[in-house]
Chain A
Amino acid sequence: MAIAIVLILLALGSVVFYFLSPWHLPPLASNWGAIDTTILISFIVTGVVFVAVVGFTAYAIIRYRYDDRRRASYDPENKKLEFWLTFVTTIGIAALLAPGLITWASFVTVPGDAHRVAVVGSQWHWQFRYPGEDGRLGRVHPKFVGRGNPLGIDPSDPHGQDDRIVDRPEMYLPVDRPVEMLLTSRDVIHNFMVPSFRAKVDALPGQMSRFWFTPTRTGTFQSTCAEHCGVGHFAMRAQVEVVPQEEFDAWLGEQPTFAHMQALESGDPAAGRGRYAVCASCHGQNGEGNADMNAPSLTGLSPWYLVRQLENFKSGARGGNPEDTFGAQMTAFAGTLDEKAMRDIAAYLQTLPEQAAETTVSGDAARGQRLYRTCAFCHGSNGGGQWSANAPQLAGMNDWYLIRQLEHFREGIRGRHPQDMYGNQMVDMSQFLVDEEAIRDVVSYINIFEVRAAEQSGDRVATLQE
């Protein structure tokens, strides 16, 4: 008896849950209302069947509960009943399938006027590419990928020269215009999912996959990776800005073309030296840093990282949080620099000898080693950093600085700004360091890493020249 009542309660509860739960499809922001309709039809059909079957079961349990004086009925077959049940079920299934297949037919048919965007996944971020004036995307191959060519565009393909490159996980789309997303991956399989758009597909290495939709609402949308792609899977986000056409055109015009990126001169260390004089008052003549001034060592950091941080300071993406006092100081300095000056300073810093910072904290380095295993996926097992993962070098950094930054990341004081995309990842990743002790332990392990001697850091010089 209890089971009959519980079955009824669970079935009705399931229906009530559908109506009362706070979780529904997020508000639609694309043309795929037909998918929502199919989902609704599925809910209605399955809901009715669920309640009917469970209700019938519960009723049978109550009505035919065991009675010693009674016998069950012996009628093991009923051809007519079985036929009708099969028939009605087939009709019901067809009613579900038909709208699904009709919608799928439009899903697989890309409208002729759709514009194209190439979406490239890699561990663990997204990059984008828009066709230039010629309206065509250039050929790509992983063998061309390098710091100066993050998407691997074939330099000999004239169609690639005017492609607009977005080397950060942020894309713009014009509202009310169909777009065909062309997805590829540099390494493993990823998936670009924006729930409000409904459509998505995996991004694979070695082949191109595609889907189309028309954004119907302006606004900012978050994308999450929807195909397990390794340790950073959960932190692989991107932002989609749907804007009016004019705003989109203006934004696209600001994005560098491939030709522009190729022509970009490397920073000038001589000019950087002059610029650095201001920095030296806190960071030291040789970039060795100064704990009393809360200024970290700058040697050993790659130019791409230095330039990005200076840009972030300038835009307020870093240092804008009122609790980041020392970061706030940097926003003032960075505000005086233009892009060229930043690259010059970064170039100058590459000429300074790398040196290990003084050890000031002690922790359980053995535990730190276990914890560092997560960090190693991006920052490398010897803390050398990895540009393809946008992860800076950790070896040789001041331990007090690392601790403060990890705390800031964990608390969201650094990295929560929507424009600090890679900082964002660190906020997510640092959550596994559950307390101060864990942070101290992992930093005390990082302290063990040796800095590379200046002459060994050929990799840095090479990337500088690209």
Chain B
Amino acid sequence: MVAGQHDAVSRVPPAEVGEMELPHAHSWVTRYIWSQDAKTIAVQYAITATAIGLVALVLSLLIRLQLGFPGTFSLIDPASYLQHVSMHGMIMVIYLLTAIFLGGFGNYLIPLMCGARDMAFPFLNMLSYWIYLLAVLVLVASFFVDGGSTGGGWTLYPPQVITEGTPGAGAGIVLMLVSLALFIAGFTMGGLNYIVTVLQLRTRGMTLMRLPLTIWGIFMATVMALLAFPALFVAAIMLLFDHLLGTSFFMPTMMMVSEQRGHEGGSPLLFQHLFWFFGHPEVYIVALPAFGIVSDLISCHSRRPIFGYRMMVWALVAIGGLSFIVWAHHMYVSGMHPNFGFFFATTTLIIAVPTAIKVYNWILTLWRGNIRLTVPMLFALGFLLTFLNGGLSGLFLGNVTVDVPLSDTYFVVGHFHMVMAVAPILVVFGAIYHWYPKVTGRMLNDTLGHIHFWVTLIGTYAIYYPMHFIGLAGVPRRYFAYGETAFVDDSVMTLNAAITIAAIIVAVAQLLFIFNLVWSYFRGEKAGPNPWGATTLEWQTPETPPGHGNWGRELPVVYRWPYDYAVPGAKHDFVPQNVPADAVEFEHGSQQARPA
């Protein structure tokens, strides 16, 4: 072993399992449509998620137009406003972020970064995508049914969501619940695949503690999703029963529209517990892949090993575990027994410790690095800022007493958009700029990338940061208009107009990004196999973009951890994972680190 190299070896034991047969494509259709290649499925997931995400983006603009300029646009009425709010939230959280991180990046990166030829179950993987697509189509259909899509908020709280005081309480909510059930079924197929692939198909030498943090993040998120989504699944089915069959899981005796309803004895709080037992882990299902990816982006573009790798892995595991015992911090004012507040406030704030460790390790990776301010790196830094901001405001809302005045105000809207929307989506962008050259063989345009970054970062910060303060002043959320509310004065209206303008500008910048994706595919600068000088396996493929099976005749063999940047004395400032310790080129006469 050469001095200074983390855990590099020169020899790796032979493989115990033979290679798998791949279902190769035989026609254009099986190559691009009914493809069983994880990389193609990844692109299918990403394109579908982006398309439906654009719908949600348009919905957010409609919301903003109403809030910024109330009484101006006749196409938005109180009912459609609520429908836009609900569908925007649901699409962004589930159908965009969850799908793109796990279905998109998970599919593309897991086999490549683990050194596998493909997912463990390619057919199931294909099925996973097509059921996801079906879920999206059912979701879209709900826009067009009588009464429109559901307006019950993305949290779908009964009794409101299935009673007639809420728009879309007819077919809209039924399609929404069916779509969720489909999504979960499809995701389960993909999720099992990701877990089995990570556990069983890693190449020779790829120990768990040599996995890149991207894979750790996606892996932990998938484990969590498989445990959390069933809660949502049963909640959706039970809600469907209450709605269609007249059961009373969540419905107590009620008096609606001057008449009594047939329900009796159900508990609306039960739904909230089920929803948030899923809903809170869901935050981390989106966040953990982002944590993992951003670790790799920061390490690669700072040309320095990630700081505290082991701690980073254990922090991911700790966050994943803890996130299952904090759910009721979404319910401090829900009317559950108030003594729960003590327990959930404590667990919630404990989660801040491993999360803080991750932040420290990211910035300590920058420290004494050799930082290249590439576009992916800029997005990673933008993530650091917004995630830190959103994480810190989470310390307000998690601390039960502080949550009481702030819950259901714009403080909450500012908080979760900063931590759950802006931060992860900046990582999605950073990751696309980073891996696009591998996916297409071409670089994304740098100038457009810079414009996209600056407008998105400054724009979103300007949109969400001030929201915390109007929330502090008591401005409630999910309001179509504020009328004459004592604590909503003209300054709030001015701010709302300004936020709307910022939102329009940010939205236009996203079109620029979409244009960049398309234009660079045809005209982008040709990328080599490893344009960033990265160490992980996906950059070491024999072809770019990698062919079906990823690795040509022989699978790569892993001799070292994934962060051998700036190895002291080595000729290059990175040593790929598949280079044995004794094959590293050293500078003449030097085996020592240069002074930093």
Contacts and interface: CB of A to CB of B under 8 A. Distances in A.
A50 interface: yes
A388 interface: yes
Given A14-B389, A122-B255, A145-B255, A431 B483 contact: yes
Contacts of A377: 79, 164-165
Interface residues of A, number: 123
Nearest to A237: B485
A187 interface: yes
Given A53-B388, A60-B363, A71-B593, A428 B395 contact: no
Interface stretch (A21-29, A334-342, A354-362): A21-29
B479 A198 contact: no
A374 B167 CA distance: 9
A53 B363 contact: yes
Contacts of A143: 253, 260
Interface in B485-511: 485-487, 491-492
Interface in A304-342: none
B399 A96 contact: yes
Given A66-B373, A72-B565, A225-B476, A61 B366 contact: yes
B124 interface: no
Interface in A186-212: 186-189, 191, 193, 195-196, 198-207, 209
Nearest to B567: A74
Interface stretch (A75-83, A271-279, A282-290): A75-83
B566 interface: yes
Contacts of A386: 257-258
Interface in A87-106: 89-90, 93, 96-97, 99-101, 103-105
A10 B385 contact: yes
Given A225-B476, A228-B160, A89 B74 contact: no
A243 B370 CA distance: 66
A67 B596 CA distance: 11
B246 interface: no
A46 B396 CA distance: 9
Contacts of A108: 338-339, 341
Interface string B308-323: 1111000000000000
B404 A35 contact: yes
B524 interface: no
Contact of A72 (B255, B304, B408, B480): B304
Contacts of A3: 373, 378, 381
A231 B346 contact: no
A251 interface: no
Contacts of B596: 70-73
Contacts of A373: 77, 79, 167
Interface of A: 1, 3, 6-7, 10-11, 14, 17-18, 21-26, 34-35, 38-39, 42, 45-46, 49-50, 53-54, 56-57, 60-61, 64-67, 70-78, 81-82, 85-86, 89-90, 93, 96-97, 99-101, 103-105, 107-108, 122-124, 141-143, 145, 152, 183, 186-189, 191, 193, 195-196, 198-207, 209, 221-222, 224-235, 237, 371, 373-374, 377, 386-389, 412, 416, 424, 427-429, 431-435, 438
Given A72-B368, A195-B473, 19 more contacts: A25-B472, A42-B395, A60-B366, A61-B373, A71-B370, A73-B369, A73-B566, A73-B593, A74-B305, A75-B368, A93-B353, A187-B165, A188-B166, A191-B408, A201-B334, A203-B335, A231-B82, A231-B166, A374-B79
